[in-house]
Homo-oligomer: A and B are copies of this chain.
């Protein structure tokens, strides 16, 4: 499985679709978006931090584990760090596979495992960090 895992402090730009992959039948994408309500409170943004090197190796390990159960061909993950305003994506995931169910199952499980097991944290951001650059 080809794995591309990136962290960015800028708004996520979805990378172009790969060229024609003649054995790929399914592309599943997920955008995790910051909602204005977090734990019952209106927030202007969330602030994300990560141990990048550890998170990357952990996520690669998670991908390999999930790939054994849900065989897929490619994974692209972009996770934003720093302040992410309400309504913007903190995470973008793309999974390519031959058949669709594997991609759906892989993608859903990968996000769950990322949130549970990867050293990436979120905290409400102070309003001063949420203004556009």
A residues with a Cβ closer than 8 A to B are 17, 19-37, 86-89, 98, 100-101, 103-104, 107-108, 111
Contacts and interface: CB of A to CB of B under 8 A. Distances in A.
A24 B88 CA distance: 10
Contact of A29 (B28, B87, B101): B28
Contacts of A108: 100-101, 104
Contacts of A21: 33, 87
Contact of A33 (B27, B31, B33, B101): B27
A128 to B, nearest CB: 20
Q: Assembly of this chain: how many copies?
A: 2
A30 B94 CA distance: 10
B100 A30 contact: yes
B36 A31 contact: no
Nearest to A19: B87
A26 B22 contact: no
A34 to B, nearest CB: 8
B29 A29 contact: yes
Nearest to A92: B27
Nearest to A24: B33
